[in-house]
Amino acid sequence: MMVRQISILTKALLCNFLNLNVFRYTKDKKKKRNTISMALLWLMLIAMAFCYVGGITIGYIKLGMADVVPMYLVTVSALIILFFGMLKAGSIIFQKNSYEVLCSLPVSQTAIVVSRFLSMYVGNLLLSLVVMVPGMVVYAIFIHPGIAFYAFGILGTIFLPLFPMTVATLIGAFITAISTRMKHKSVVVALLSIIFVVAIMVSSLAMGNIEGDLTTEMLRNFSGILVSMIEKIYPPAVWLGTAMTEGKVLQLSLYLVVSIVVFLVMVILVANNFHKICQGLYSTSAKHNYQLTELKKTSALGSLYQKELKRYLVSSIYVINTIIGPIMMVWIAVGIAIVGVEKIEAIFPINIIGVVPFALAAVACIMTTTATSISMEGKEWWIIQSLPIKTKTVFDSKILLNLTLIAPFYVIAEIISILVLQPSLIELCWLILLPIIFIVFACVFGITINIRFPMMKWENETVVVKQSAAAMIGGLGGSLVILLCAVPVIFVDGFLGELVKMGITILILVITLLLYTQNNKVNLSTIE
């Protein structure tokens, strides 16, 4: 009976995985085009990931560090699953809408929890395959390992998502358990999640800052250093990596037992407290002592901005997904300060001062709020459409929210960068102006994409923020454009480099102005 319930619930959760069910049955051509566009985008990202992982693997092999490759692949896969799982585990395991339906049915809460873990496992397994497959293929081509490598690698990859999923769920459950007792649950969930992300970033900086100065002898023994770092970050990666390269069954058994046992313990704990957590998470309290004191009048732009801010703060997944980029901007500046410019330039022979403005802007523009701000209106979009306000005012309020979000992080990152890099006057101008120009461009670009790919009918905001075409294209497209603009700057220096930066600045300003003007001409009633 339990197995049947798990099977039915899992199929229900996966029936529209990657919008395949919508594409299969919908008669709406627009939805089909959006699904195709999303599929093509995913294929492009997967192809880029394959090339990147394959290139890194070849690099390690050429440096004589082939034994490190499997450990590295497993660690990267686990960190990706942990990062994305931590941000979405709570919304998947403790889904509000489906919980309200399922709690009234004769369904075991264990079956509900297991089915949700399985649905999350499928997505995480695909993420791990994107990393493991190209790395293992390249390794096999160059090294020609024995049969144990393939057998242990396939088996290890199948169970790879279990441990990081468990850690991600543990963090999500901890955050949820704390937030359920507090009034502003969404804000608390977002803040706690951000604290965990910052802690991970700080830890990575601490581990990356190897004791003492980076000497030639340490570079020669970089393989040992890397293995030591992996042992600190993720010991199971060393177990599986050793099993794959040396054919050690004991190491593989240890990896499998730990992964499975830890995962099962987590499932049992969540299942036993599932109703309690959901009831605490979705219960609300209200006061009935409201008194009218003073009415305030604001402009249309001010009112819409306040509305955008409130909508943003009540969605923890929205906050978490869009705040990571600005945090990483500060993280990059702090990382440069800790590691040092000379040490970075010794490893990467590029002009750091020339690249930093692009790096700061690129990470700041990862997942802009504007890329999904229209879609987040959802079923309330008709209210905006019925108001006697200009399109420009509506979009300006959404852009203003994004700029407000990034501004404090930009100021902190700029102050740290200026103190560390000590740029000349012209370098200072580029360091300050380029990120501002690119950030404004990314905000406007996000609106442009969301106009083309709106998603107004949704039940779970996670779908809008993480899986919609607008989130992928609008959220990542701005950063991709910035990285492309940085390429010529890496290879050109001096006076010619300044001309290149000036040309890029003018081009981005013109594109931003054209997109902004085009957006403001859109009839809001046509967005649906």
pLDDT digits (tens, 9 = 90+) for 267-277: 888 888 777 76
Q: What is the pLDDT at residue 179?
A: 58
Over 90: is that where the pLDDT of 453 sits? no
Secondary structure of residue 181 in the 3-state scheme: coil
Counting DSSP H helices and E strands in the chain, the numbers are 25, 0
Least confident of 74-83, 284-293, 482-491: 284-293
Q: What is the pLDDT at residue 253?
A: 92
Cβ-count burial of 38 within 10 angstroms (0-12 exposed, 13-18 middle, 19+ buried)? buried
Over 80: is that where the pLDDT of 21 sits? no
Q: What are phi and psi of 210, to 5 degrees?
A: -60, 145
Contacts of 492 (CB under 8 A, 6+ apart): 500
Q: What is the pLDDT at residue 39?
A: 76
The beta-carbon contacts of 342-349 under 8 Å, at least 24 apart in sequence, are: 343/213, 343/214, 346/214, 347/214
The percentage of residues in the chain with a pLDDT greater than 90, rounded to a whole number, is: 23
Confidence of residue 290 (pLDDT cuts 50, 70, 90): low
Range 142-161 average pLDDT: 91
The beta-carbon contacts of 10-15 under 8 Å, at least 24 apart in sequence, are: 10/115, 10/118, 10/119, 12/115, 13/115, 13/116, 13/118, 13/119, 14/119, 14/122
Over 70: is that where the pLDDT of 422 sits? yes
- Average pLDDT of every residue of the chain: 81
Residue type, 457: K
Residue, of 347 and 138, whose pLDDT is higher: 138
Specify the pTM: 0.73
Q: How crowded is residue 33: how many other Cβ atoms within 10 Å of its Cβ?
A: 13
Q: What is the pLDDT of residues 352-371, one digit of tens each?
A: 888 889 999 999 888 899 99
Q: What is the pLDDT at residue 16?
A: 62
Over 60: is that where the pLDDT of 217 sits? no
Residue type, 375: S
Where do we find the tokens 């931590």?
86
Confidence of residue 214 (pLDDT cuts 50, 70, 90): very low
Over 70: is that where the pLDDT of 241 sits? yes
Over 50: is that where the pLDDT of 210 sits? no
The percentage of residues in the chain with a pLDDT greater than 70, rounded to a whole number, is: 81
Which helix (H) or strand (E) is 142 found in, with range? helix 109-143
Q: What is the pLDDT at residue 406?
A: 92
Question: What span, in angstroms and rounded, lies between the C-alpha atoms of 373 and 380?
Answer: 12
Q: What is the pLDDT at residue 173?
A: 67
Q: Which of 47-56, 208-217, 288-297, 406-415 has the highest mean pLDDT?
A: 406-415
Residue, of 295 and 127, whose pLDDT is higher: 127
Over 50: is that where the pLDDT of 220 sits? no
Over 90: is that where the pLDDT of 175 sits? no
Question: What span, in angstroms and rounded, lies between the C-alpha atoms of 428 and 423?
Answer: 5
Q: What is the pLDDT of residues 469-518, one digit of tens each?
A: 788 888 888 888 888 888 888 777 777 878 888 999 999 999 999 999 99
Least confident of 127-131, 239-243, 274-278, 514-518: 274-278
Q: What is the pLDDT at residue 17?
A: 66
Least confident of 83-97, 183-197, 232-246, 249-263: 183-197
